[in-house]
């Protein structure tokens, strides 16, 4: 007789497994992945593989009283007689039970198919117990295809959301989904990819597929309102002007700054909150452009955090920081020239002061200084607040230059706390104070890089690149 396949939702459900061998461990792993609350009963000591796993382990032997509080029961001991006892007792108590052994006198309620998963797509194969090894082999053979179907599933899910909003008639939606899931449609997806498939879906709908696009501008953030709008706001406005058909959103990565701004009544999202919001609003295409200067730890963390959302939209590319590729350095120097931030001079020294980092991305500051020298800017030095080159190293270079006039240039997006306190502050350990203590006449320019149109256009160019890459 054919069994009846179902997919159980076990989140928070109590399940018990008798046994701690290899099969029992597989059962436990699957239950935990499904969100079940698992209890294991076995006579041996708790296996090392479960030392840091959230489950209840009872060292002892099977007893019928142990069955009372559980939704599912798994008989996975190495003793067929005990397994049969567990099956019979579970069924007497109205519990659903599975066993790893067969017994004609006590047939279990369910068996577990061979499963392979990728995202929301799960493949379950059973041979009704006649050839379990074959079920496993079939699953392994079909596994490479599941990743493709996961992408297809994401596409169809997004289409469902969009079509539900614009097509009120349920039957019409059903007919559309039948068209885009025919064997021919699936073949089109496999052979020509996602874009061709979406175009086909658009044709079935009878119009061009409308891509609801959003641009998410991600910054570390600042609580200084004036510089925030002069820099971050200016970059966002430049982007918005260049992409009038897209909606531009803001997110800050600094939770401390987000919290501080909310306390003053200013609403600002973290990155995860922004992504969740964009998904709820039905955007199908999201472009993320960070406003970082170098690809340091913040950028690395951003990419890692966004990885979990990669299949939430049709397209979800992430742009690069300002200094990521070799060609970025001469472009930044050109922008600094155009903005009047640096000039060739024999009487004045320019000192570009960046944030710096212990991350390998700090090498970008050294590369920038090298590019400046090769561009004829022997009067421009680069230093960092928290990285390399340090203030002490910069002082040694300044002493060799023999020039007493130093212009401090914050090489940060915003003129926030680091600029106001660490660079231009009056405390004795600020860059301005230390330089003055060493006999230099210091001028500080209190503008973040984001305030300059030429710099804004560089961020825009990085965004335009990822847009062009998927067009």
Q: Is residue 381 part of a domain?
A: yes
In a domain, 429, yes or no: yes
In a domain, 242, yes or no: yes
Sequence-distant (≥ 6) Cβ neighbours of residue 294 within 8 angstroms: 321, 322, 323, 324, 354, 357, 361, 362, 364, 365
Whether 167 maps to a domain, the answer reads: yes
Are 104 and 143 contained in the same domain?
A: no
Per-residue confidence at 231, pLDDT binned at 50, 70, 90? very high
231 and 152 in one domain?
no
Model-wide pTM > 0.85: no
Residues 84 and 173 grouped into a single domain? no
Asked whether residue 241 is domain-assigned, the answer is yes
84: CATH:
3.40.50.720
Domain that holds residue 20: 14-112
The β-bridge partners of 397 are: none
Shared domain check, 414 and 364: yes
Model pLDDT, residue 314: 74
Q: Are residues 421 and 332 in the same domain?
A: yes
Considering its fold, how many domains does the chain have in total? Answer: 4
In a domain, 3, yes or no: no
Q: Which CATH number characterizes residue 235's domain?
A: 3.40.50.1400
**Annotation marks residue 344 as catalytic:** no
Q: Are both 144 and 195 inside the same structural domain?
A: yes
State the pLDDT at residue 471. 58
Size of the chain in residues: 471
- Boundary of a domain, candidates 172, 205, 238: 205
Based on the domain organization, do 333 and 418 belong to the same domain?
yes
Over residues 141-175, the pLDDT tens digits come to: 888 888 778 888 888 888 888 788 777 788 888 88
> Mind giving me the DSSP string for 38-85?
EEEEESSPPPGGGTTSS-EEEES---GGGGTT-SEEEE--S-HHHHHH
For 412, other C-beta atoms within 10 Å of its C-beta total: 25
Q: Among residues 170, 205, 240, which one ends one of the domains? A: 205
Query: pLDDT at residue 113 above 80?
Result: yes
Contact 38, 28 (CB under 8 A): yes
Residue 235 lies in a domain: yes
The residues, ordered by sequence, that sit 6+ positions from 214 with a Cβ below 8 Å of its Cβ are 246, 247, 248, 249, 278, 281, 283, 285, 286, 287
- Do 268 and 172 have their domain in common? no
**Which of 355, 359, 374, 462 is an active site residue?**
355
Name the nearest CA neighbour of 95 among 103, 83, 86: 86
The DSSP code for 11 is T
Write down the pLDDT at residue 161: 80
Shared-domain flag, residues 155 and 221:
no
Task: Check whether residue 336 and residue 413 sit in a common domain.
Answer: yes
* 319 touches 465 (CB < 8 A): yes
* Radius of gyration in angstroms for the set of CA atoms belonging to the chain, rounded to a whole number: 31
Same domain, yes or no: 218 and 161: no
Look at 199 and 35; give whichever has higher pLDDT: 35
Write out the two tokens for 316: 């979800």
Based on the domain organization, do 45 and 151 belong to the same domain? no
pLDDT tens profile 261-294 = 898 888 899 999 999 888 888 787 899 999 999 9
């Amino acid at each position: 007789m054919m069994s009846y396949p179902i997919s159980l939702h076990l989140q928070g459900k109590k399940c018990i497994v008798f046994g701690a061998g290899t099969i029992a461990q597989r059962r436990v792993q699957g239950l935990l992945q499904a969100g079940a609350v698992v209890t294991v009963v076995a006579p041996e000591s708790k296996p090392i593989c479960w030392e840091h796993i959230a489950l209840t382990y009872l060292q002892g032997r099977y007893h019928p009283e142990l069955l009372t509080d559980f939704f599912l029961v798994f008989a996975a001991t190495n003793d067929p007689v005990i397994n049969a006892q567990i099956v019979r007792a579970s069924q007497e108590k109205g519990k659903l039970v599975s066993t790893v052994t067969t017994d004609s006198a006590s047939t279990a309620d369910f068996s577990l198919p061979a499963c392979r998963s990728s995202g929301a797509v799960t493949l379950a194969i059973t041979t009704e117990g006649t050839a379990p090894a074959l079920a496993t082999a079939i699953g392994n053979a079909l596994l490479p295809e599941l990743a493709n179907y996961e992408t297809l599933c994401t596409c169809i899910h997004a289409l469902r959301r969009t079509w539900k909003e614009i097509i009120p008639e349920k039957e019409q939606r059903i007919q559309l989904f039948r068209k885009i899931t025919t064997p021919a449609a699936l073949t089109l997806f496999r052979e020509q990819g996602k874009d061709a498939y979406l175009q086909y879906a658009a044709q079935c709908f009878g119009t061009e597929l409308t891509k609801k696009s959003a641009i998410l501008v991600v910054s570390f953030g600042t609580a200084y309102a004036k510089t925030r709008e002069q820099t971050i706001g200016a970059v966002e406005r430049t982007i918005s002007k260049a992409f009038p058909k897209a909606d531009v959103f803001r997110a800050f990565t600094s939770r401390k700054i987000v919290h501080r701004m909310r306390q003053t009544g200013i609403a600002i999202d973290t990155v995860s909150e922004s992504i969740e919001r964009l998904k709820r609003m039905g955007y199908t295409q999201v472009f993320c452009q960070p406003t970082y200067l170098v690809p340091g730890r913040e950028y690395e963390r951003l990419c890692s955090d966004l990885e979990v959302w990669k299949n939430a939209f049709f397209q979800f590319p992430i742009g690069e920081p300002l200094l990521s590729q070799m060609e970025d350095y001469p472009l930044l120097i050109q922008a600094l020239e155009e903005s009047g931030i640096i000039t060739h001079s024999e009487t004045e020294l320019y000192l570009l002061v960046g944030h710096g980092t212990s991350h390998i991305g700090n090498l970008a500051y050294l590369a920038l200084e090298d590019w400046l020298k090769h561009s004829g800017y022997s009067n421009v030095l680069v230093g960092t607040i928290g990285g390399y080159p340090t203030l002490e190293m910069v002082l040694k270079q300044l002493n060799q230059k023999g020039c007493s006039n130093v212009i401090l240039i914050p090489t940060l997006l915003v003129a926030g706390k680091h600029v106001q306190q660490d660079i231009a502050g009056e405390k004795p350990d600020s860059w301005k104070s230390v330089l003055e203590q060493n006999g230099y006449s210091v001028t500080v320019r209190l503008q973040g890089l984001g305030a300059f149109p030429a710099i804004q256009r560089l961020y825009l160019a990085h965004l335009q690149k990822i847009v062009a890459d998927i067009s």
